[in-house]
Structure 1
Amino acid sequence: MCALYATDGSDVFTGILPREAESARAARQMVDKAVADWGLSELAETARLVASELVGNAVVHGKGSSIRVTVARVATDRVKVAVVDLSLQVPQIARTDEALGESGRGLFLIDALTPRWGVDEFRWGKRVWAEVAPPPEEQPVCEIPMWHTIAAQAMYLAALLAVMSALAYGFATQ
């Protein structure tokens, strides 16, 4: 594993690992190191899960003897975890019934946990990536009915008076 700077100046940790299940542990360690260095420890749990799932998919469906794992800081509060392998097969999210089985949950989970993920295709293989960001802040729910404001009450009263006047005029002209 080594720390680099991308051409755009962003921080990047990357490493070439054997295409085997044990490499998921090394990928998680890389994530831990990266997010700790960047002061983004709140992203660690999700980023570790994403790294494990991406490495797992590359081990099962990839080709070649090695994979490249990259953790890049793409914003002040966001990281991108990516795994490159030599397979041309583009991964698909499992259908809901398949995702409930013993395998096939990787991209289903990544899609649920991250704001963006994707696949970059190359002549010789692909890079599968996902961005990890803090969860969105919950917006407070306003439980005050709209007629509790003075303006709303005035509009309601004006509409009610208009309807009553129209009805009274209608009855008066008959």
Structure 2
Amino acid sequence: MNEPTQLSCCREAFYRRERASVPLARQFVHRALIDWECEADHDDVLLCVSELATNALIHGVPPGRGFRVRLTCDEVLRIEVHDSGGGQVEEHPAPAPCAEYGRGLLLVGALAASWGVGERDPGKTVWCEFAGTARKFAGAGDGSSLVRDRR
């Protein structure tokens, strides 16, 4: 792979509907953060990736399908998780203290600078953004090449 492609400020990866996909997505994002010398808080970013990927698996990926993680880092770090399932994404009030589920989007909302949901056909895109540019791309052109990782 040539250098501009490896250090692109846009990367995406596709993951199957299986539990192993969540840590793989986290590793994919972690590698990009390191490659890009991204100034965002890596722990916060990786926790949000885990939550969004887990939500996609549980609520948004029909059998036989998968989800896509897309990263861009220009003025901000943006993480998008695309799934092909239906359903609405809503941030609910805090769950009961003994509840096992329901805190994912509360965590994303607390850690990310912003987050939201966009429509796609089929499915939806859940995204979050963090302050923190990539030092590798500061003043280095548009970095518009795309790196794809298929698992």
Task: Report the TM-score when normalising by structure 2.
Answer: 0.74
Output one character per residue of 1:122-168: Cα deviation in whole Å (capped at 9) or x when no partner: 2311010101225xxxxxxxxxxxxxxxxxxxxxxxxxxxxxxxxxx
Which structure 2 segments of 5+ residues have no match? 133-151
Q: Which one has a bigger Cα radius of gyration? A: 1
- In structure 2, relative to structure 1, the CA distance for the partners of 1:58 and 1:99 (3 Å cut) is farther
- Give 1:84's aligned residue: 82
Provide closer, same or farther for how the CA distance between residues 100 and 40 of structure 1 changes in structure 2, counting only shifts above 3 A.
farther
Kindly state the Cα deviation for residue 42 of structure 1 after the two structures are TM-superposed: 4.7
Equivalent residue for 1:60, pick from 38, 46, 58: 58
- Cα distance change of structure 1 residues 98 and 69 upon mapping to structure 2, 3 Å threshold: farther
Report percent identity of matched pairs: 33
Q: 2:70 corresponds to which letter in structure 1?
A: T
Q: What does 1:118-129 align with in structure 2 at a 5 Å threshold?
A: 118-129=116-127
Question: Aligned partners of 1:81 and 1:68: how far apart in 2?
Answer: 10
Q: Is the 8 A contact 1:30 1:71 kept in 2?
A: no
Looking at structure 2, the residues matched to 71 and 105 of structure 1 have their Cα atoms a distance apart, in angstroms, of 23
RMSD of aligned alpha carbons? 2.1
Aligned pairs, number: 125
Q: Work out whether residues 99 and 105 of structure 1, in 8 Å CA contact, stay in contact via their aligned partners in 2.
A: no
1:100 CA displacement: 6.3
Deviation track 1:43-69 (CA, whole Å, cap 9, x = no partner) reads 211111111000100110013321101
CA distance in 2, matches of 1:42, 1:19: 28
Structure 1 CA distance for aligned equivalents of residues 120 and 113 of structure 2: 23
- The structure whose RCO (Cα within 8 Å, separation 6+) is larger is 2
Q: Which residues of 2 match residues 25-174 of structure 1 at below 5 A?
A: 25-40=23-38, 42-64=40-62, 65-75=65-75, 78-98=76-96, 101-133=99-131
| SS of aligned partner of 1:102 | coil
**DSSP-derived class of the 1:45 partner:** helix
Structure 1 length normalisation: TM-score?
A: 0.65
